[in-house]
Structure 1
């Protein structure tokens, strides 16, 4: 349910957390918030801490904020999958509630509390050596994610099943509805996915009007995607292996030890995670970091991460370099068509 943060019924939430966990929640402290959710730190009567994340779209105040119903269920399933199948530190999901009666003001989930601070918060205090070690830790997380393989393109749901692709909520005030879920996959091939992207099947509604030039351009892009000679070879299949993408793996979503910021203790905010071909996964770990690092530092650390990951997942390195450029260019063109 899309509601602004001030309509979250905090007392109702506290009562329901108590009911679901079988012990009293004695306090809910506003912890952190994003454009699409509000997070609380819950103190239980046994002194344990939990994190409660409530879906609430702040952007709704300014228009937009349309959210696919799949967003939070997929995030819950993705956290569970990563917890079970990798060594990447993610919070354990303890409970999830759809808020079907609307009493809380948004669907919510309960997670374990991971003590730590965001890497972005610590960055300005770190030495050059520590920053290099932190970059190496990020590379290890990224490489482990890229080592996962899936049978279809879409998003994760319960029991590791691949279902329709989910998305970030829209911040466009002109949007009135999410993409039609019947057209959002799962897709059994990169070719099928790109055709759906080019056809705007994965675009929020209503669709913008297109000029005759834009429609002609789309036709050309579609014809190129439909060229089977592009896909029917072993090299294309290698570069198009389907993996899991965290779509916002930035310093703010990486929790580190307060005393040792080179050690990652949690990777958070998995909303809109998706399974896509290797060439579609473009890590941009230092975006929105202009205020805490120079362009030179950002470039140097990005190259370091890429080289470390290349040693462990060479297929991704190839897929995101010249060998896979034809595919990533097609994706760019499909998104613009």
Structure 2
């Protein structure tokens, strides 16, 4: 129960999950023994699956948990779940501490009640729950470990702007993380502004993009915004949008090119501490794992060089985390030299909001603005 609401989707039955996964376990001779509720998010529920061979797995099932999600769900990109799967596998293959994925099914036969992923069960507790019980020294060490994982992801290079996808079928594959799948950058998975109650369709253009300027101009044109019911959307000023696109074209390569334009994976929620599972021993964090890759995108280094913002983390500890990140020369360059490019992205993101448009352009040209952590999509 959550706020006097039952968050469990009424059409999903634990017994059905056990039966559906019997033939999809990593060991073909294993069978389901016990299924139990574990956790949930805005768009999914998670159960544990224990087997007769004494194995424990986590099963994540996409489903309309809350009323507001029930409205949004039809407009999520059709490839959203497959993109998250591709992101997990790609990071696993780069030796990032993410769960191994064993099986994936879009549940077209409706055996479970939603697209599901069978993955490694990670022991530990969300880091945001543990921080209050750690000493300052142990907290500092935990943020050092977090920064090292962030920088490991920062060093991954991808060829285009978009989101990861798997080409080909994954049907019948028993250990996806260890398989030789073709993963590439495809259309963008955008979750931006899904709380709009008047959404009537999917974004017009989700890429992918080979050129950073074309991506920025798509942002300015509103191509990644969900269309709304006629009369409910904010009126766009086409002349102002054209001015922003002209500024994008006029911006020198020194601001948008070179190392700043190198693409790599980035997802804001991935670093939220409720998605970071910590294993603690002797009152110290000895291992971190990362669970949620919803909406992970491939974007330029100047975007990924933002100062980190984590909910429920004090400004002082965020500064400590940034200090660790800035020890990496590439991240320091993206952070310091990418400031103008990040504000150009901010200008593009708000091009469809004409109010104070002239003031935003003036501030951009004069460099009188704060470095706000923004990301289209």
Contact 2:77 2:189 in 1 (8 A): yes
* TM-score, normalised via structure 2 length: 0.79
Which residue, out of 332, 342, 348, partners 1:317? 332
Question: Within the alignment, does 1:25 sit opposite 2:32 as a pair?
Answer: yes
* 1:176-224: CA deviation from partner (whole Å, max 9, x where unpaired): 33324xx211100211111111111111223754436x33322211111
Which residue, out of 155, 159, 164, partners 1:156? 164
RMSD: 2.2
Aligned to 2:10: 6
Shift of 1:114: 1.3
Aligned to 2:268: 247
Contact 1:64 1:176 in 2 (8 A): no
The 1:173/1:9 distance shift into structure 2, 3 A limit, reads farther
Larger relative contact order (CA 8 Å, sep ≥ 6)? 1
Which residue, out of 73, 76, 81, partners 1:72? 81
| Greater CA drift, 132-141 or 189-198 | 189-198
Contact 2:38 2:47 in 1 (8 A): yes
CA distance in 1, matches of 2:21, 2:303: 38
The 1:270/1:315 distance shift into structure 2, 3 A limit, reads same
Which residue, out of 269, 276, 279, partners 2:292? 269
Secondary structure of the structure 2 residue equivalent to 1:320: helix
Q: How do residues 172-321 of structure 1 correspond to structure 2 at under 5 angstroms?
A: 172-180=196-204, 183-206=205-228, 209-211=233-235, 214-227=237-250, 230-231=252-253, 233=254, 236-248=257-269, 249-259=271-281, 260-281=283-304, 282=306, 284-287=308-311, 289=312, 298-312=314-328, 314-321=329-336
Contact 1:239 1:316 in 2 (8 A): no
Secondary structure of the structure 2 residue equivalent to 1:328: helix
The 1:49/1:285 distance shift into structure 2, 3 A limit, reads farther
CA distance in 2, matches of 1:332, 1:195: 12
CA distance in 1, matches of 2:76, 2:13: 20
Contact 2:188 2:208 in 1 (8 A): yes
| Greater CA drift, 276-285 or 184-193 | 276-285
The 1:332/1:285 distance shift into structure 2, 3 A limit, reads closer
Question: Within the alignment, does 1:142 sit opposite 2:156 as a pair?
Answer: no
Question: Within the alignment, does 1:91 sit opposite 2:113 as a pair?
Answer: no
CA distance in 1, matches of 2:8, 2:36: 17
* TM-score, normalised via structure 1 length: 0.88
Structure in which a larger fraction of residues adopt helix: 1
Secondary structure of the structure 1 residue equivalent to 2:257: helix
CA distance in 2, matches of 1:156, 1:315: 23
* 1:297-336: CA deviation from partner (whole Å, max 9, x where unpaired): x222222222222222x23323233x22221111111111
| Greater CA drift, 248-257 or 217-226 | 217-226
Shift of 1:238: 1.5
